[in-house]
Amino acid sequence: MATRSGCFIVPKSVLDRLARDASLKQATRTACRATAQMEVSWRELRGAHGLAAQAHLGTALAGVSLAGAPAITVANCHGSTSLPGTPVPNPGSSTDATAKRCFIETTAVARFYKTCFGRNSVDNLGMTLASSIHYGHAYNNAFWNGTQMIYGDGDQQIFVDFTRSNDVIGHELTHGVTQFTAGLDYADEPGALNESVSDCFGAMFRQWRAGQAASTADWLIGSGIIGPLAAKKGYTCLRDMANPGASHCLSKQPSHYSQYVPGGDPHDNSGIPNHAFYLIAMGIGGRSWSTIGRIWYAALTSPSAKPSMGFKAFKKLTAAAAKSLFPGNSAVYAEVVKGWKAVGV
């Protein structure tokens, strides 16, 4: 079985590339190298949490008392890598801007899932959403470790505080949703779907917070974490769902299945389903979370969704969901089919 690892917003390949970039200052290169090396140490733990979550899905929940809404907690690592860190009292009114922003946006993600999809936290059982901030020194990433969120402050050159981009927060918490639903393996096409689902819901969350229609959104992922040096080099985001291969992306991606790389990084190959989602959202129009978001959520949570599911299997689930959720609107189904066909799936 493929491992359910990963779940970082910045791919290791990007960090490795930056660590080798002789045009960057040594401190920035060192920060990227150290961040990339730490990714390996989290793999086994995340895989174990993912397998445990899948096993739990088959357990009867009779007698379980569900929290009406998830508690939101924030802890401060103070630059250490010791988790969870020191609890931040009343983070919603904290004088630490990172703690306050983390609390507010995490609370908003919980509200987004509840309001738009009827989901109660990542496990649908009211699981506490715990976050640790100020993790490590110049730590250039954010990730879901299987039980909680962790945010670095960035090196302040390539990346800034990872709580500054609310789509990053939505992306990472969605890895938790995937863990407790389809449990997509983190390799090959299932891995690309795993990353894509997080980008899709992260983008939807950002648009939901801004009250944007699909046509007015920029479809960028991670634009809020781009540091001054990266911006000076012409980068505006990590990824662009509208134009995955654009030069302004720190993490360029393929946009068509003909460019799929077997065994490639899930962050890269996720550009294919990402672009399909964008095309379908634009074709349907309106607000993404009210139509295509419901279709994608239904596919992710379908009893037919399996950890080993590839692009074609997911496509079939989205097409079926389009028919069942919007039976009186054949145009929605047509756009779903058209969007997947446009990316070669």
Q: Would you please indicate which residues are annotated as catalytic (active-site) residues? A: 172, 267
Task: Report the alpha-carbon distance of residue 250 to residue 162 in Å, rounded.
Answer: 15
Q: Are 189 and 261 in contact (CB under 8 A)?
A: no
Burial of 6 (0-12, 13-18, 19+ CB in 10 A): buried
Task: Report the alpha-carbon distance of residue 341 to residue 330 in Å, rounded.
Answer: 17
Q: Indicate the residue type of 132.
A: S
Neighbours of 24 (CB within 10 A): 20
Q: Indicate the residue type of 142.
A: A
Question: DSSP string covering 153-187, please?
Answer: ---SSSB--GGG-HHHHHHHHHHHHHHTTT---SS
Task: Report the alpha-carbon distance of residue 160 to residue 138 in Å, rounded.
Answer: 9
Nearest to 146 by CA among 42, 258, 274, 30: 42
The tokens 């918490």 sit on which residue? 173
Count of residues for the chain?
345
Neighbours of 65 (CB within 10 A): 6
Phi-psi category of residue 188: left, alpha or beta, with phi > 0 → left and psi -120 to 50 → alpha: left
Q: Using alpha carbons only, what angle is made at residue 105 by residues 99 and 109, rounded to the nearest 5 degrees?
A: 140
The tokens 């920060």 sit on which residue? 31
Start-end of H helices in 58-147? 97-117
| Cα–Cα separations (whole angstroms), residue 332 to 66, 274, 282, 336 | 35, 18, 11, 6
Q: Are 129 and 106 in contact (CB under 8 A)?
A: yes
